[in-house]
Amino acid sequence: MRIAVVGGGAVGVTAAYDLAVHGEDVVLFEKGEIPNEDASTGRAAGVLYDAFAAPEDARIGDRAIERFREFSGTGEFEFVETPYVWFARTGDEKRATAIREQVPRMQEQGRDVSLIDAEELAERYPSLNTADINVAAIARNTGRTDPGSYANAVAEEAKRAGAEIRTGIEVGVQFDPPRIVSEDGDEEFDAVVVATGVHTKRVLADAGIAVPLKPYRVQALTCEFDADVPMVYDATEGYYLRPHPKGLLAGDGTEEVESDPDEWKRESDDKFVSAMEDRLTHRLGANTETFAPTIERSWAGLCNATPDYDPLLGELRTGLYVAAGWQGHGFMRAPGLGEAIAKDVLGEGDIPEFDPTRFTGDEEFEIVEGMAVE
């Protein structure tokens, strides 16, 4: 088959690679460069875990981590083993109960997770302030990386497998038959995969197809820090942190309003930076009375929400496929998601729970943080 993949983010390059390895004639279109530092992959946190309770999410997460390990060492991409800890604070019984209920469900899916008490956390990570932790859990099949290095490495592998990658070209899509539309004219394909992240809704709207996707803004920063800590998610306050070559990378969850995928604020807000400084000072000051983070860089990125928090992954029209709507979990599952959409194109099975035709496209819904523990 001749297959077009539109979008050179982590999911798109993975799909192109898998299709090319299968022997298909693949062309990937990316309007920027790979990695695109202005797109979702280029601004992702690089937190990688498989701690999901739903069977379909656990399968994708498990496969993603497995493939991250397989790809590690390719080009400049490296998967760095790092435990992932999430917790609810004292007084937050709602999320404490949710974590207690999540862990056995995750264990039923074969995830290497367990509850861990605050004393053990403090012993293992002396810099971590655990005094206000009520209930905590730890996932071990986890790691971290530089997202751009993955996109670049897998794109290079896709080219070696025979895929053609065209960067710096903006295209549209049409169907019946599936085709790519650009200033160079129309180009027909047997199948087209739209993996354009927060631009997916507009790309498909131009083809006359409505999908329920809402881009939303998230923020992150890096700061100096030289002590050993795991990846951490504070479910009560909704922020995360992880080790980073600069020291730490930390971010909050969600700006719960829809953003324009082209005209959005790339810079961080002063309020966000100030709040994260306070959070990091509190959480990582266990061993010092004077700890205060020195901010190295801060920025904003975009994620994509759906009505039920599950992605749109599969065939929308004959020969036209979509892969979008990750709720902030796209990069960490990219090797599994890219593989899944490639298999769907090849007729090797789909994921019914992610079927994009489950929606009409005109659904009204609120944006909810993808990492939230409820």
Domain boundaries of the chain, sorted by first residue: 2-74+146-212+307-358, 81-141+214-305
- Max CA separation in the chain (angstroms): 66
Distance from C-alpha of 67 to C-alpha of 56, rounded to nearest angstrom? 17
Asked whether the CA dihedral 50, 314, 206, 211 is positive or negative, the reply is negative
**CATH code for the domain defined by 2-74+146-212+307-358:** 3.50.50.60
The pLDDT score that the predictor gives to residue 253 is 64
Rounded-to-integer distance, Cα 217 and Cα 253, Å: 9
E strand or H helix that includes residue 151: helix 147-160
Tell me the per-residue pLDDT of 47-104, one tens digit each, with 9 for 90 and over. Answer: 999 999 999 999 999 999 999 999 999 999 999 999 999 999 999 999 999 999 999 9
SS3 67: helix
Here the tokens at position 182 are 């650009």
Q: Which CATH superfamily includes the segment(s) 81-141+214-305?
A: D-Amino Acid Oxidase, subunit A, domain 2 (3.30.9.10)
pTM: 0.96
Is pLDDT of 205 > 90?
yes
Ramachandran angles phi, psi of 223, nearest 5°: -150, 165
Q: Is the C-alpha dihedral spanning 335, 337, 343, 346 positive or negative? A: negative
- Give the pLDDT confidence score for residue 213 in this predicted structure: 97
User: What confidence tens digit (pLDDT) does each residue in 176-195 have?
Assistant: 999 999 988 999 999 999 99
Residue 36: pLDDT band with limits 50, 70, 90 = confident
pLDDT classification of 243: cutoffs 50, 70, 90: very high
